[in-house]
């Protein structure tokens, strides 16, 4: 996440360089530790996701976490803790030229924050760490999809600089 800094260009560059070389887990947000998501986090992620969505997506999360463990050493799927408690998670992946887009980009598949801990910048910490990790490997774009009616989620992403993408998602019901 680009930090908004006032001041001369030299100060802005210094803040951006600080973000680039920030160690994993050091989000700059007090009280939130971000680390790599592991298979041991599955039960906690399912619990948070079920509380957020109102249904269990255990198989989906298990598959996505397994993919994250297998596919790359780049920290794309993250867990957040506050005071030693699992607070949320983010599942993301990289694309290199898929969907007719020539440049590489990242997709946020799922982000979940324990409802009891929302408003404590857990989601912000997760996105901040993801952005630092992506910046370190030269990825400049993150995309996600949000259901049109999910206004709080749209607001969350908008507050972090997400805007409508210049692509159109097409859908067909199979009958």
78 falls within a domain: yes
Query: Concatenated DSSP letters for 113-165?
Result: E-GGGTTSSHHHHHHHHHHHHHHHTT---EEE---TT-HHHHHHHHHTT----
Q: What is the mean pLDDT of residues 6-33?
A: 54
86 falls within a domain: yes
Q: What CATH number is attached to the domain comprising 73?
A: 3.40.630.30
Which of these, 54, 64, 63, 120, lies nearest to 87 by C-alpha position?
A: 120
Tally of domains in the chain:
1
pLDDT digits (tens, 9 = 90+) for 144-156: 999 989 999 999 9
Check pLDDT > 60 for residue 18: no
Average confidence score pLDDT of the chain: 82
Task: For residue 166, count other CB atoms closer than 10 A to its CB.
Answer: 6
Check pLDDT > 50 for residue 7: no
64 falls within a domain: yes
pLDDT digits (tens, 9 = 90+) for 79-121: 999 989 999 999 998 887 666 667 888 989 999 999 999 989 9
The predicted structure's pLDDT at residue 3: 41
Residue 110's DSSP bridge partners are: 91
Boundaries of domain holding 113? 20-159
91 falls within a domain: yes
The predicted structure's pLDDT at residue 73: 53
The predicted structure's pLDDT at residue 46: 97
Cβ-Cβ contacts under 8 Å for 101 (sequence gap 6 or more): 95, 167
The predicted structure's pLDDT at residue 20: 41
Which of these, 89, 75, 88, lies nearest to 134 by C-alpha position?
A: 75
The predicted structure's pLDDT at residue 102: 72
10 falls within a domain: no
Check pLDDT > 50 for residue 72: yes
The predicted structure's pLDDT at residue 66: 87
Strand order in the sheet with 104-113: 33-36, 78-82, 85-96, 104-113, 142-144
The predicted structure's pLDDT at residue 99: 63
76 falls within a domain: yes
118 falls within a domain: yes
171 falls within a domain: no
Gap between the Cα atoms of 109 and 106, Å rounded: 9
Q: Give the distance from CA 115 to its chain's centroid.
A: 17
Angle at the Cα of 55 from the Cα atoms of 51 and 56, rounded to 5 degrees: 95
Task: For residue 174, count other CB atoms closer than 10 A to its CB.
Answer: 3
């Amino acid at each position: 996440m680009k930090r908004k800094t006032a001041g001369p260009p030299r100060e802005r560059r210094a803040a951006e360089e600080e973000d680039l070389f920030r160690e994993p887990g050091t989000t700059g947000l007090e009280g939130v530790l971000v680390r790599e998501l592991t298979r041991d986090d599955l039960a906690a992620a399912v619990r948070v996701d079920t509380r957020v969505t109102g249904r269990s997506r255990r198989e989906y999360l298990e598959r996505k976490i397994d993919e994250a463990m297998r596919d790359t050493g780049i920290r794309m799927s993250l867990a957040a803790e506050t005071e030693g408690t699992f607070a949320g998670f983010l599942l993301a992946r990289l694309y290199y030229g898929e969907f007719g887009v020539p440049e590489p980009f990242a997709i946020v598949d799922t982000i979940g924050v324990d409802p009891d801990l929302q408003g404590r910048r857990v989601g912000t910490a997760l996105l901040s760490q993801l952005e630092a990790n992506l910046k370190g490997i030269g990825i400049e774009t993150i995309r996600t999809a949000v259901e049109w009616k999910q206004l709080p989620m749209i607001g969350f992403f908008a507050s972090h600089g997400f805007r409508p993408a210049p692509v159109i998602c097409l859908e067909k019901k199979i009958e």
